[in-house]
């Protein structure tokens, strides 16, 4: 059986049920043999993550632990590059022996709508298939209008023998959870529950290490290096 490797990248600050839904939908409809979940070191289009790379990787590992074929990958965390660019990640996977036709980059429609601003556009579209999934507020049905220059590359499942063709952009119109990492951090800061927004193991990790709780100046625990979150792996 040919390899079909899904790549789910992101800041994952923290990873939530919406991210997981993206992977599940793509894995099911595209018969992916593996899903690599890759936390970004420092994303180029977003602010610096609030949680350290160690915590974000740990939360990803907890979220994928019981999912068949899923793996947490530190491919972007182990690099010394100052920013995490998808094009560089795909090139590293090519260097590990994966052909572009074997890779399926999984992404929400809202993020893909900005693909023209990504590094190495449009060349990046030749380095992997792109599995684009509808997200609340942005359906894949909107993409032909938002990205008219890519109309000829847009296809829909079922995709058949896609491994044998040039990388394509696969539009998947399925429902995914209306959750965001920003909303989770805001709820934590307000002292509200995040139950159901993240995997149970992820929720326990966040609680155990006091993640996303504002530091109050003057408090004894205001020095992050003296909190459980700061002490994990010796990183402040």
**What is the residue-wise DSSP string for 162-173?**
GGGS---EEEE-
Report domain extents, the chain.
Answer: 5-172, 184-234
CA 181 from centre of chain = 11
Helix (H, G, I), strand (E, B) or coil at 157: coil
Contact at 8 Å (CB) between 135 and 109? yes
Considering the domain delimited by 5-172, tell me its CATH architecture: 3-Layer(aba) Sandwich (3.40)
Contact at 8 Å (CB) between 23 and 6? yes
**What is the Cα–Cα distance from 78 to 70, expressed in whole angstroms?**
19
Q: Which of 24, 4, 106, 104 is nearest to 64 (CA)?
A: 24
- Condensed to tens digits (0 to 9), the pLDDT of residues 36-57 reads 999 998 766 667 899 999 999 9
Contact at 8 Å (CB) between 229 and 55? yes
Q: Specify the length of the chain in residues.
A: 236
| Residue 71, beta-bridge partner list | 36
Strands 129-133 and 34-39: unpaired
What's residue 42's pLDDT? Answer: 76
Q: Where do we find the tokens 């790379």?
A: 53
What's residue 225's pLDDT? Answer: 40
| Residue 138, beta-bridge partner list | 135
Helix (H, G, I), strand (E, B) or coil at 108: strand
Q: pLDDT in tens for each of the 236 residues of the chain?
A: 578 999 999 999 999 999 999 999 999 999 999 999 999 987 666 678 999 999 999 999 999 999 999 999 999 998 777 678 999 999 999 999 999 999 999 999 999 999 999 999 999 999 999 999 999 999 999 999 999 999 999 999 887 666 566 899 999 999 999 999 999 999 999 999 999 999 999 999 999 999 999 876 654 443 344 444 433 433 43
SS3 content of the chain, % helix, strand, coil (to 5): 40, 15, 45
**What is the Cα–Cα distance from 102 to 182, expressed in whole angstroms?**
32
CA 211 from centre of chain = 19
What's residue 81's pLDDT? Answer: 73
pTM: 0.88
What's residue 222's pLDDT? Answer: 38
């Amino acid at each position: 059986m040919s390899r079909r490797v899904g790549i789910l990248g992101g800041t994952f600050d923290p990873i939530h049920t919406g991210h997981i839904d993206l992977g599940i939908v793509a894995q099911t409809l595209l018969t992916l043999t593996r899903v690599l979940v890759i936390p970004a070191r420092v994303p180029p289009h977003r602010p610096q993550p609030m949680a350290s790379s160690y915590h974000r990787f740990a939360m990803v590992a907890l979220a994928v632990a019981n999912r068949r074929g899923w793996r947490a990958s530190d491919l972007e965390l182990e690099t010394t590059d100052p920013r995490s660019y998808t094009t560089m990640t795909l090139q590293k996977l090519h260097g590990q022996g994966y052909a572009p036709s074997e890779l399926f980059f999984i992404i929400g429609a809202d993020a893909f709508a900005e693909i023209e601003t990504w590094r190495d556009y449009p060349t990046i579209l030749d380095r992997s298939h792109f599995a684009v999934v509808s997200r609340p507020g942005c359906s894949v049905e909107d993409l032909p209008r938002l990205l008219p220059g890519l109309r000829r590359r847009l296809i829909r499942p079922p995709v058949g023998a896609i491994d044998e063709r040039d990388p394509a952009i696969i539009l998947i119109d399925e429902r995914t959870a209306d959750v965001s990492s920003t909303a989770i951090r805001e709820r934590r800061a307000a002292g509200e529950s995040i139950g159901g927004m993240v995997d149970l193991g992820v929720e326990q990790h966040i609680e155990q290490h006091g993640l996303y709780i504002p530091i109050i100046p003057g408090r004894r625990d205001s020095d992050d290096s003296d909190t459980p979150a700061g002490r994990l792996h010796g990183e402040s």
